[in-house]
Amino acid sequence: MKLASFKHDGRATYGVAQADRYLQPPADFLNRYPDLAAVLRANAQRELEQAAISSGISIQVAATQALPVLPTPQKFICVGLNYKTHVAETKRDDSEYPALFVRFADSLAANGDVVHRPSFSERFDWEGELAVVIGKEGRAISQAQAFDHVAGYACFNDITVRDWQRHTHQWTPGKNFPGTGPLGPWLVTADEVPDVNALTLETRVNGEVMQKASLADLIFTIPVLIEYISRFTPLSPGDVIATGTPGGVGDRRTPPVYMKDGDVVEVEITGLGILQNRIGTAA
């Protein structure tokens, strides 16, 4: 099942994505669960599917405006340096523990949004990633139980302002410009992804492949990440873990390559869809 958040008639809502339309549950369901995070907290995904199918309410995608799959996650935790190819291109050493940083909710963007490069930086770079969405609350979750806490997966582009990323040893400034983290186009529920390691991630800029990797190449696997993160902070339904980007970022090419106004960047992951955005300059 594919779950999407979107605006229709000026109102934020959600539904089940099918081809060129969204199936929407009736008003009483939407009143009980005002957003997808509420659906996840109640573990009501199957109830949503049944309600959306039986309601007869169908909205054409073309009549909507996409929103980030989870527009306001309580926690959005990102993992750096989690593919050996990316560690190698950055000339860093392997780490005993995951490198973590956070994104704020207002740094997220939706599929199809124009992502605005700040006018004072030319170093605007792509980072295609797999996002893991938590569906069950937990603290100190074991690796053996980690996937029981996963609601599903989505594509994520951790677009980065490289010069601002390097202002300090903490990467937060370069990762949190407003609307620079596209998440979507939808959440694919975990039951449709029996083996996440079999997925392939590909990032393209203007049709040219810039990154391609298997999710089996993660240094710190999804169970390891969930176990580690949940030891120091509780994980709740609707929280997101972005699992890191593979080698092939523009900043580490010779010469470096950065995204320019009008460029189209896509992140595609097997079975999870294509996340597409155009680059524009901030006013």
Statement to judge: residues 8 and 130 lie in one domain? no
Percentage of the chain surpassing pLDDT 90?
A: 94
pLDDT at residue 51 is higher than 80: yes
Task: Give the C-alpha distances (Å, rounded to integers) separating 159 from 36, 49, 209.
Answer: 24, 32, 16
Residues 61 and 81 in one domain: no
Q: What is the mean pLDDT of the chain?
A: 97
Q: Do residue 97 and residue 230 come from a single domain?
A: yes
**Within a domain: 80:** yes
What is the rounded average pLDDT of the residues 35-50?
A: 98
Q: Does the residue 217 lie in any domain?
A: yes
71 in a structural domain: no
User: Per the domain annotation, does 8 fall within a domain?
Assistant: yes
pLDDT of residue 92: 78
Averaged pLDDT, 148-156: 99
Residue 2 is predicted with a pLDDT of 99
Among residues 25, 41, 66, the one where a domain terminates is 66
Same domain, 265 and 224: yes
Is the same domain home to 208 and 82?
A: yes
**Proportion of the chain above pLDDT 70, given as a percent:** 100
Which CATH number covers residue 81?
A: 3.90.850.10
Could you list the residue range(s) of the whole structural domain that residue 24 is in?
2-66
Pair 106, 185 in one domain: yes
**Tokens 């609707």 identify what position?**
238
Task: Kindly state whether residues 218 and 265 are assigned to the same domain.
Answer: yes
Residue 15, pLDDT score: 98
Q: What pLDDT sits at residue 241?
A: 99
Both 145 and 40 in a single domain?
no
**Among candidate residues 199, 204, 187, the one with its CA nearest the CA of residue 71:** 187
Supply the pLDDT for residue 94.
80
Residues 56 and 185 in one domain: no
Total domain count, the chain: 2
pLDDT in tens, 4-26: 999 999 999 999 999 999 999 99
Rg over alpha carbons for the chain, rounded to the nearest Å, is 18
Does the pLDDT value for residue 137 go beyond 60? yes
At 55, the pLDDT band (50, 70, 90 cuts) reads: very high
* pLDDT over 80 at 91, yes or no: no
Angle at 81 between CA 76 and CA 84, to 5 degrees: 140
In this structure, the answer to whether residues 264 and 162 fall within a common structural domain is: yes
Do 57 and 91 fall within a single domain? no
Give this prediction's pTM.
0.97
pLDDT, tens digit, 9 for 90 and up, residues 121-136 = 999 999 999 999 999 9
Predicted confidence (pLDDT) at residue 283 exceeds the cutoff of 70? no
pLDDT at 93 over 90: no
Are 53 and 135 within one domain? no
Looking at residues 153-179, what average pLDDT do you find? 96
Domain boundary at 19, 38, 66, which?
Answer: 66
- In contact, 111 and 276? CB cutoff 8 Å: yes
Distance separating alpha carbons of residues 188 and 196, to the nearest angstrom: 12
Res 83 pLDDT > 70: yes
Q: Across residues 82-101, what is the average pLDDT?
A: 87
Per-residue pLDDT reduced to its tens digit, 204-230: 999 999 999 999 999 999 999 999 999
**Where does a domain end: 66, 92, 110?**
66
